């Protein structure tokens, strides 16, 4: 049981990375094609969609039992959604900072 729980944690980390790669590809293509002002809405909707999927996934973890039994597919889907949320938030923040500080963006991004 302990080794199975550790494998869930490792798989979760792998799927967070997969979610960040996939979300980064989607958000990057949208921002590069539409520019910041129009793409910020779509990138925000991508993050909100991932938040909604997480909200609907929580009943999968609780099977009306006093003990939470792990669910491998829900764990992996949760990792992907968290990766997509992280990417959408980071893309919006870095694009907004780069747009506001066009002339002095090098100093801002060193932080």
- pLDDT score at 3: 58
pLDDT at position 111 is 56
CB atoms closer than 10 angstroms to residue 21: 14
Prediction pTM value: 0.74
d(CA 84, CA 95): 16
Q: Residue 77 is encoded by which pair of tokens?
A: 């889907």
pLDDT in tens, the chain (111 residues): 555 667 888 888 999 999 999 988 888 888 788 876 777 778 888 888 888 888 887 776 666 556 666 678 888 888 898 998 888 888 878 777 777 777 776 666 665
What value does the CA radius of gyration of the chain take, rounded to a whole number of Å?
17
């Amino acid at each position: 049981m302990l080794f199975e729980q550790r494998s869930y944690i490792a798989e979760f980390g792998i799927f967070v990375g997969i979610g960040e790669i996939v979300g980064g590809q989607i958000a990057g293509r949208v921002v590069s094609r539409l520019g910041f002002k129009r793409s910020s809405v779509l990138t925000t909707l991508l993050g909100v969609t991932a938040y909604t999927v997480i909200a609907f996934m929580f009943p999968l973890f609780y099977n009306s039992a006093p003990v939470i039994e792990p669910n491998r597919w829900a764990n992996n889907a949760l990792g992907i959604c968290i990766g997509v949320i992280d990417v959408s938030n980071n893309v919006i923040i870095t694009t907004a900072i780069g747009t506001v500080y066009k002339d002095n963006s090098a100093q801002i991004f060193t932080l």
